[in-house]
Amino acid sequence: MKILVCIKQVPDTTDIKWTENNTIQREGVESVINPYDVFAIEEALKLKKSIDNVEITALTMGPLQAEDILKKAIAVGCDHAVLISDKKFAGADTYATGKTIASAIKTKLADYDLILCGQFAVDGDTAQTGPSIANQLGIPQVTYVRKLYKCDGKSIYATREIEEGLEAVKAQFPVLICVLKGYEEPTRPKINGIIKAQNSKITVYSMEDIGLTPEDVGIKGSPTYVSRAFRPQNTRGECEIYSNCGTFAEKIKKFGGLCNE
């Protein structure tokens, strides 16, 4: 069984700064694996422990320094790592990111059963990339997954969060799954894993390698335009709390606004 895990490099900071194009300033900021993707790796590792012949490939689209997170993925137990990297990918929105990753999968990693993504990236936080990859590959997707609890080689069984509680789902391969924070502590790298990661070679694919053109990728391939980015005003201390003011209609009369009652 072949599993692909999509991981994203995110800034290791809460002090987000913006570029002049209103995108997140990523250069010069320490980076880590997106926390939800750590749980996606964890679900893949659990499957590897419970079933024979599972091969895990971690992949990311990002700059060359994203090799660091791929090596971390190998250190905890992933078998292979792929970096999709090209200067022309800069400025990609979620549509172009999904298209680029899907093209790499179609052209270079087509022999897969299961694709795992995080539900969100903690920097961009759109939750669009996983569904976009599934859409462009034409495969089903299961989102908001808490746990993969069974696999019979042809299908995967998962519990997913819905408003009313948890839902149990069975999905046939190939399928893409977006995971939430899991229940278990993520695996820590062991010394053998760290040595393996240091010696491993990361496969890098460029735009041409995956059959795309400059019009498909980066800013040219991105329909999203960010017109403005700003921090919300801090409203702390500006709210007044009234208690014991009677019914909703009485409150409206007392504090202003229209009331039909």
Interface with ligand FAD (CB under 6 A): 6-8, 23, 26, 34, 36-37, 40, 60-62, 90-94, 97, 101, 117-118, 120-121, 123-130, 222, 224, 226
Q: Which residue has the tokens 């019979």?
A: 152
Q: Which of residues 90 and 245 has its CB atom nearest to ligand FAD in the complex?
A: 90
Smallest separation, CB 129 to ligand FAD (Å) = 3
**Residue 141 C-beta: closest distance to ligand FAD, Å:** 11
Q: Least distance in Å: CB of 75 to ligand FAD?
A: 18
* Nearest residue (CB) to ligand FAD, 79 versus 123: 123
- In the complex with ligand FAD, the residue whose CB is nearer, 62 or 193, is 62
**What 8-state DSSP symbol labels residue 163?**
T
For residues 78 and 105, the answer to whether their CB atoms sit within 8 Å is: no
Cis peptide leading into 63, omega within 30 of 0?
no
Strands 141-151 vs 155-162: parallel, antiparallel or unpaired: antiparallel
Question: Would you say 50 or 126 has its CB closer to ligand FAD?
Answer: 126
* Partners of residue 19 on adjacent β-strands: none
Tokens 């599934």 map to which residue?
134
Phi and psi of 169, rounded to 5°? Answer: -130, 140
DSSP state of 61: E
Nearer to ligand FAD, 28 or 257 (CB): 28
Q: Which has the closest alpha carbon to 142: 164, 115, 163, 122?
A: 115
Longest dimension (CA), the chain: 74
Q: Which residue is nearest to ligand FAD (CB)?
A: 124
- Shortest gap between Cβ of 40 and ligand FAD (angstroms)? 6
Q: State the nearest-atom distance from the C-beta of 240 to ligand FAD, in Å.
A: 36
